[in-house]
Chains A and B, each alone.
Chain A
Amino acid sequence: MDKPGKEKIFIRDDQPSTLVLKGMGVSPGITIGKAYHYDRMDLQTPFYKLGSPSLVQEEIDRFFSALKESEEQLLNLKKKLIDSGSGMEPLYIIDVHVMILKDQRLIDLTVQNIREMSVNAEWAIRMTIEKYRGIFDKMDDEYLRDRITDIEHAGQRIINNLVGKHHVPSELPEGIIVIASDLSPADTAQLKIDKILGFAMDMGGRTSHTAIVARSMEIPAVVALGDITRLVKTNDEIIIDGSAGVVIVNPDPEVRKRYGWKKRLYEKARDDLLDYAGLLAVTKDNHRVEIGGNIEFIEEIPSAIHHGAEGIGLYRTEFIYVNRRKLPDEEEHLENYRHVVGVNGLSWSTIRTFDLGGDKFFPDQKVFHERNPQLGMRAIRFCLKEKELFKVQLRAILRTSIYGKLRIMFPMISGIEEIREAKEILEGEKRSLVARGVKLGNDIEIGIMIEIPSAVIIADRLAKEVDFFSIGTNDLIQYSLAIDRINEQVSYLYQPFHPAVIRLIKSVVDAGHNAGIRVAMCGEMAAEPVYTMILVGMGIDELSMHPLAIPRVKKIIRGITFAEAQSLFEKVLTFSFVEEIRGFVLEEMQKRFPEDFSVDDG
């Protein structure tokens, strides 16, 4: 700027090169902004130089008393764990942490940092940790990775004790794109999420914490980028395309312009659609379909209501179990569920009981190895085997019934025996709660997921046992077409338009209606607008889906008549193979909604 001669050099040298990174888009939308490297220790560790040499001893004393305090906390924690009779594994970790606190090397280095650099104790301990992190980083071996976490955890405890309750974490600048290897719930709690434009993470998947938070706040996010933390610096300009899973670092002006245009288009489409969120899903000839939202975290509820969910059609409870050392107790379950039932703006809440493999309870995979977990000891099978675990969850779910309309749903039911046994256990828990003096609501509905072909075949009998069905299309398609979706060799066979799949779904709807019960769908098919018309034509009562998908599905339902949906479905039944059905349905949808179905769709 100041010297014209220099400016040229300056521009050429500093012109950063454009970089395109591909990951997994987990929250759609486009965002353009400045990158910000998130480092949890940076935010939590205050830094200052000691004003005078006389303060050095004081700082060393502070460090020693924080060490002592940390050790006492750990020993108390250990005692608590012993008293509660939990396993030996956490006790060893505590011993290791205590040993790290007492480590002469750690103490000497930290004291030396205080003396020589005249910095505060918090920063001095941070420097010690960084030194060890440096050693481990050089080794570049996964085997050593968890070691630094032990040192970090112990160090973090010392810092927390030094900081006490007075320290307020430094504030992040607003309007940034957060770059990190991964974010934990503790991290996101510290960030002002609503001021963040986007996320780009090294690690993670669709169900990682960052992904869920980003989706619920509608912030574009790309995860599983590998090493974006290494490739991007704070203040780099970056574009995040959360729909395509692409991150562009230091875009050239033309790319930047193109993405600015894409961003406006995307937002306009989203806003236009959002007009449908608050409307009911009623066809032009007054046939009503209820719309539910699928969620897995209570934090997603506001977004579900905002996008037009009338109830919660599927609350997945698995996240209450994973990533923890001890099983959740009844109160912890309740703490989550009570925020799901009886929420203002929701007419009903369907809570699905535990739907994972038993391996989630046994961290040691070898103890619980299954050759084919999809067909193994999971969901209701596991719950009926480990009844005590099941009962804890059931009691907590039942206790929410006084807050509002509760529907309990059992997953993976394959026959009458399972639903009867599950109901019997549920009744037993109801009685024991009543005996405990707990008040329960009196219109609790019980339902099952229909996701196993055998359940479809005997749906007429199952319908006599329950108050509702909810069709889980993902599993139903996999099990009935005998394909593993994850297997790329056969994933092309995963076809919701398969005539067999369509007949299966129709027979569930009919069996339910013949018995006078409600039939819902909570699988991915419910969220795809291309299937909406045939599902409505079959007479499905409720479609439950990811909240972001709701406005578009409502738009489709409001743009058709029940009569034409029925005749479209009748016509579909006359075809014999996937391509015929797909071609026909897509053409019909394009005719009615040209702007929602482009010609190359599907």
Chain B
Amino acid sequence: MQIVKTFEIKNQLGIHARAAAKIVEIANLFNSDVFLEKDGCAVDGRSILDILTIYCPKGCSLTVRFKGPDADKAMKMMSDLIENKFGEP
């Protein structure tokens, strides 16, 4: 199963180290593979190093793709995280 969803990044700091860490935490809870795509670049959602290399400040759109048996559950959790601005202002 594959689920793709595009988000607008709304927290002030964008995808910085702390937000990236939270993405990795969720990615590690599931069996599905996860990729983050930005400007045609896709990075592994389980690698904090790779996530840090994408430039994603506030206002950017970021596409998340889950592929695997629990993709729907994983996407739901990831949506909550990103839409709640990573729990940040």
Contact = CB atoms under 8 A, between A and B. Distances in A.
Partners in one complex: yes
Interface of A: 92-93, 95-96, 99-100, 103-106, 132, 135-136, 139, 141, 143-144, 146-147, 150-151
Contacts of A141: 55
Contact of B48 (A92, A100, A136, A146): A100
A311 B53 CA distance: 54
Given A92-B18, A95-B21, A150-B17, A136 B53 contact: yes
Nearest to A151: B49
Interface string B56-77: 0100000000000000000000
A151 B21 CA distance: 13
Contacts of B47: 103-106
Contacts of A132: 49, 52-53
B37 interface: no
B24 interface: yes
Nearest to A93: B17
Contacts of B48: 96, 99-100, 103
Chain B contact patch, size range: 10 to 19
Given A99-B21, A105-B44, A151 B52 contact: yes
Contact of B49 (A95, A106, A139, A144): A106
13 contacts: A92-B17, A92-B18, A93-B17, A95-B21, A99-B48, A100-B49, A103-B47, A106-B47, A132-B49, A139-B55, A143-B55, A144-B55, A147-B52
Contacts of A106: 47, 49
A456 B9 CA distance: 56
Given A106-B49, A144-B55, A96 B44 contact: no
A152 to B, nearest CB: 12
A100 B17 CA distance: 10
Interface of A (DSSP majority class): helix
Contacts of A135: 53
Interface of B: 14, 16-18, 20-21, 24, 44, 46-50, 52-53, 55, 57
Contacts of A136: 53
Nearest to A131: B49
Contact of A147 (B17, B44, B46): B17
A93 B53 CA distance: 17
Given A96-B48, A99-B21, 7 more contacts: A99-B24, A103-B47, A132-B52, A132-B53, A143-B57, A150-B52, A151-B49
A93 B47 CA distance: 16
Nearest to B53: A135
Nearest to B56: A143
A278 to B, nearest CB: 55
Contacts of A105: 44, 47, 49-50
A104 B46 contact: yes
A72 to B, nearest CB: 19
Contacts of B50: 105
A-B CB proximity, top 5 nearest: A105-B47, A99-B48, A96-B17, A147-B52, A92-B18
